[in-house]
Structure 1
Amino acid sequence: MMIIAPTPRLVRHAVARLRAPVSASVSVSAPALTISGRAFFSSASSFSDIPTVTLAYDLHEPAKPVADAKTSPIIFMHGLFGSKKNNRTMSKVLARDLGRHIYALDLRNHGDSPHDQRHDYLAMAADVAEFIRQHGLKEPTLIGHSMGAKTALALALQDPSLITNLVAVDNAPIDAPLTSDFPRYIQGMKAIDAANVTRQAEADKILAPYESSFTIRQFLLGSLYRPDPKNDQTLKYRLPLGVLGGALGYLGDFPFRNPSERRFVKPALFVRGTKSLYVPDEVIPAIGEFFPRFEMVDVDSGHWVISEKPEAFREAVVNFLEPKE
């Protein structure tokens, strides 16, 4: 979950400059654009070139399913420093309302999923693509928040045949550099690991100088666990802090630059928090170029859309995914 939004100046820099229109129908009147960024990614990369990890997941089953667990399921993805636990309540609600099975994933280097030295959007998208194939899922919907949203967007552009539609929550297909808060969070979490605390209250006290918001601290403390509870009560982070700290420079990036090369022409819903800066109006042209059949719903919230306004989020998703007459 990306907690601190980039500034409008950084977003304007990320969107770079506009070019001539491309010959494609889009939901907004938008010229094509070039998005600046690192050379770390290549739009020619193939998922077959990326070693994947086997993702941990929770399966939430509806009381009255409209299909079996492999047909039209929903795949729910968390954000940076999060886990499948973050989306447990909403997954149960959506399973009930839509009658669809929901797979809540732990992305690589998070929760119960394996750790790997590579942590970028193509690698995370490759993991999810392999998850879909391994489980034999047919026409799934992707829902992702923040880091999970960019993972969903990357998968949709890299292998659109695998999914039927998607919901991106408070993120967009642009480069928007992260702020210096994230290295500070990594510092604070490393300080907790080094202190060998046994109670969450002790960990919170260590983290307080690094983050003043109690809500954000509680989120960051959510990945603590006891590796050896029978013999030792020490709390440690499940997260590979060194790997994630080294990946921060890439997590603001988006792996695809040119919408004339890759486009997802199936339905896509973008849900943005009106008090968040992650999806300002100036990035709407980029969304329209990559995702010409997109819809957008504004929610009166900050970046934490799902937890801040769960009913508004639920309503937006249900309206988007319910069968249309």
Structure 2
Amino acid sequence: MRIILPRTPVLRRFFSTTPRCLLDSPLDLAYTRHDPPSPPKQPKPPMIIMHGLFGSQRNNRTFSKVLAQQLLRPVYTVDLRNHGASPHNPTHTYTSMSIDIEHFLTHQLQLSVSRTKPILIGHSMGAKVAMTAALRNPTWYSGIIPLDNAPVDAALKSDFGNYVRAMQEIESHTPALTKQSDADAILAKYESNIGIRQFLLTNLMKDPSSTDKKTLIWRVPLNILAKNLDNMADFPYKDPEEARFEGPTLVVRGGESRYVADETLPVFGRFFPRFEMVDVKGAGHWVVSEAFEEVVGAVVEWVRRVVDLDQDLDG
């Protein structure tokens, strides 16, 4: 396992503004590589896993390790911009994040995407990044797996607005909080699910600039993400006649989730004509954590049956 942080300019991200020249430029992303125990003789396309809003690559550590082991290929987990250890930038759209992924593949990993054709997996926000990237460069990828999000403009569920308000209350608390339990008590006023609260609390860190070294601050730039919530509800492509991904697509949705409604399925079919769908019964939006084994099983079966077969035929 290799954990890679962006180059030096990024390491100052918590306490400096983004240089003007970087506002419209792709950003170097922090990432971790998970390798299979024994690589196959015939190299297989790598997988790139992208988290959702307020998430980070650490949410996908177990998921990526299991996929690397079972599918015998390197799996990369990335921190998207304004999340985890990746740099902060006022621009936070699906187009900007997909351009970061293109930069990650071609410059950071120095892959020849026309030959390696990686697989993109993304949950929620990351699902829309994966779909946007595939529509931007349809020949680059051997397959995509959107987890519980659809290629449509749809208002974010009120939960995320509540999360922002709770996090802002924690950020502005006087005196500044030094205990995660106190932050959790504030979150509990907005979210009863302890699993979701623990997920949000992974964004808390000790402020290294504070005199006591105990003051808690958010790792994510809360002001930037709050201003860009409308962008997270958007989808940059409106007309399937203008962009289409003809490669295999596996749509995984939680049976109890509201993010992939039945009326969005025809839109999937127009943008992604080779799509298949797996309904995970009993799971909500957090489909991987709620039904880990079922999601892993569905992804592994589909990659072996569809993506690897396509690669063998091409070879």
1:146-191 per-position Cα deviation (integer Å, ceiling 9, x unaligned):
1000000000001122221111101111111113332321121122
- The CA distance in 2 between the partners of 1:169 and 1:192, in whole Å, is 30
Q: 1:58 aligns with which of 26, 29, 32?
A: 32
Equivalenced residue count is 276
Q: 1:154 aligns with which of 132, 146, 149?
A: 132
Q: 1:290 aligns with which of 235, 258, 271?
A: 271
**Which one has the bigger helix percentage?**
2
Q: 2:171 aligns with which of 193, 212, 218?
A: 193
- The CA distance in 2 between the partners of 1:277 and 1:286, in whole Å, is 16
CA shift, 1:192, in A, is: 1.4
Q: Judge conservation of contact 1:50–1:126 (CA < 8 Å) in 2.
A: no
Residue pairs, 1:51-90, within 5 angstroms: 51-66=25-40, 72-90=45-63
Higher relative CO (Cα under 8 Å, sequence separation at least 6) belongs to: 1
Residue pairs, 1:125-164, within 5 angstroms: 125-134=98-107, 135-137=109-111, 138-164=116-142
Q: TM-score, normalised by structure 1?
A: 0.81
* Pairing 1:124–2:97 present: yes
CA shift, 1:278, in A, is: 0.9
CA shift, 1:230, in A, is: 8.8
Q: 1:106 aligns with which of 79, 100, 106?
A: 79
* Pairing 1:305–2:287 present: yes
Instruction: Tell me the residue number matched to 1:206.
Output: 186
Instruction: Tell me the residue number matched to 1:279.
Output: 260
SS in structure 1 at match of 2:133: helix
- The CA distance in 2 between the partners of 1:86 and 1:68, in whole Å, is 30
Identity %, equivalent residues:
48
| Stretch of structure 1 that moved more, 155-164 or 189-198 | 189-198
1:282 maps to a residue whose letter is E
* Unaligned residue ranges in structure 2 (runs of 5+): 1-22
Instruction: Tell me the residue number matched to 2:196.
Output: 216
SS in structure 1 at match of 2:289: helix
Q: Judge conservation of contact 1:67–1:100 (CA < 8 Å) in 2.
A: no
2:129 maps to a residue whose letter is T
- The CA distance in 1 between the partners of 2:277 and 2:58, in whole Å, is 26
Instruction: Tell me the residue number matched to 1:175.
Output: 153
Q: Judging changes above 3 Å, is the alpha-carbon distance between structure 1 residues 270 and 184 closer, same or farther for their aligned structure 2 residues?
A: same
Q: Judging changes above 3 Å, is the alpha-carbon distance between structure 1 residues 159 and 214 closer, same or farther for their aligned structure 2 residues?
A: same
* Pairing 1:92–2:74 present: no
Q: Judging changes above 3 Å, is the alpha-carbon distance between structure 1 residues 67 and 184 closer, same or farther for their aligned structure 2 residues?
A: farther
SS in structure 2 at match of 1:88: helix
* Pairing 1:316–2:301 present: no
Instruction: Tell me the residue number matched to 1:16.
Output: none
Q: TM-score, normalised by structure 2?
A: 0.84
| Stretch of structure 1 that moved more, 151-160 or 197-206 | 197-206
The ranges of structure 1 where at least 4 consecutive aligned residues each deviate by more than 3 angstroms after the TM superposition are none
